[in-house]
Structure 1
Amino acid sequence: MISLHDHLQIYPENPSEYFEYTWRNRPFIGYEGLAASGLDAVFDGLLDGESIMTKDPLELG
């Protein structure tokens, strides 16, 4: 079975760690859950579309 819409990332349990997690752009993948899922292939965009804005866009001019 092939999945075209599954989210494989594991996010920090503590929401205050989310900014640093996303900033590093190194997503953790739930390989254990993926192995148990029975899927043969997964197409995932990882952090595509997920970003952190570090400056006020109005200040960028």
Structure 2
Amino acid sequence: MRNKAKRKFGQFESRSVLDVIASLDDMACRTKVADPLLPELFADYGRNSALWQGLAKPQSPRDHTYGEL
């Protein structure tokens, strides 16, 4: 499913939110419990939006420091 989703919606990293959505979409469609969400997200936001980029390529948080309380 991931390869099909990547061909259709663009590349995304493993462990990204899009990877999770693609996996859940696959399970939901196969069991017929829900319609797929990924095509709807893509139609609403597109590959170039900031939201889509954040879902596809998660970044480690940089706004915190370790060891300080």
TM-score (norm: length of structure 1): 0.23
Higher strand share: 1
- Greater RCO (Cα-Cα under 8 Å, separation 6 or more): 1
Higher helix share: 2
TM-score (norm: length of structure 2): 0.22
